[in-house]
Amino acid sequence: MPSAAAEPLTPERILETTEEVLRRFGPTKATVVDVARALGVSHGSVYRHFPSKAALREAVTDRWLAKSVVMLEGIASAPGEAAPSKLESWLEALFEAKRHKAGDDPELFATYTVLLAENSGVVDTHLTELIDQLTRIIAEGVAAGTLAAPDVPAAARAVFDATGRFHDPQYVAEWFSPTITTEFEAVVALVIRGLRA
């Protein structure tokens, strides 16, 4: 593929192609050689950016998770919206993002579920980022007097845990049940009521 090889070989291009290769071959069969072949470069060129297959898989997992973090950060840091309604928007956006990822491309979602299990460090960092966003939203509400929490980071963690059914990929099979939206709304209402000042 000379035209592909003519483009500069950036980490982003490698990761995009890695996702493509993972989708095509599945997480157990995909190799660095497959990625290099799809890019029309030597596997040495790929290794110059990612020193091992494990590093490449970790980076592609991180990239996938980072997309929702960036989108949710937009909600968390938006000025103007009152904390209780911002909290609701944030939880809705998280659930929607997960449902879309799972529904639009179930095979890729299943592939990433395998990658998540083997990159628990990346997952832990991701969860910390999300809980940090929740912490900032709740702290805003406490400062404005709309929310109450004696220990804001613990409350953020509790909100995250209480809504796990709607973002933990273990529950993917339930996200498309006819009653899931009602169930989601009931949990969100309960949790927000539990934080009201």
Of 54, 117, 190, 197, the one binding its own copies by CB under 8 A: 190
CA–CA gap between residue 116 and residue 64 (Å, rounded): 10
How far is CA 99 from each of CA 94, 95, 154, rounded to the nearest angstrom? 9, 6, 26
Tell me if 197 contacts its own copies by CB under 8 A: no
| Beta carbon nearer to its own copies, 35 or 152 | 152
Of 11, 164, 177, 197, the one binding its own copies by CB under 8 A: 164
CA–CA gap between residue 197 and residue 11 (Å, rounded): 47
Token couple for 166: 């709607």
Q: Which stretch binds its own copies (CB under 8 A): 32-40, 108-116, 138-146, 187-195?
A: 187-195
Please, what is the minimum distance in Å from the beta carbon of residue 73 to its own copies? 24
Query: 């592939």: which residue's tokens?
Result: 111
Please, what is the minimum distance in Å from the beta carbon of residue 126 to its own copies? 16
Query: 């083997």: which residue's tokens?
Result: 118
Q: Which residues contact 4 (CB under 8 A, 6 or more apart)?
A: 39, 40
Tell me if 172 contacts its own copies by CB under 8 A: no
Q: Is 130 exposed, middle or buried (0-12, 13-18, 19+ CB in 10 A)?
A: buried
Of 161, 176, 177, 197, the one binding its own copies by CB under 8 A: 161
Q: Is 46 exposed, middle or buried (0-12, 13-18, 19+ CB in 10 A)?
A: buried
SS3 196: strand
Tell me if 118 contacts its own copies by CB under 8 A: no
Of 100, 117, 182, 197, the one binding its own copies by CB under 8 A: 182
Please, what is the minimum distance in Å from the beta carbon of residue 148 to its own copies? 9
- Give the Cα-Cα-Cα angle 151, 120, 107 (nearest 5 degrees): 115
Tell me if 5 contacts its own copies by CB under 8 A: no
Tell me if 193 contacts its own copies by CB under 8 A: yes
Of 43, 49, 63, 165, the one binding its own copies by CB under 8 A: 165
Tell me if 194 contacts its own copies by CB under 8 A: yes
Which parts of this chain interact with its own copies (CB under 8 A)? 151, 154-155, 157-159, 161-165, 170, 182-183, 186-187, 189-195
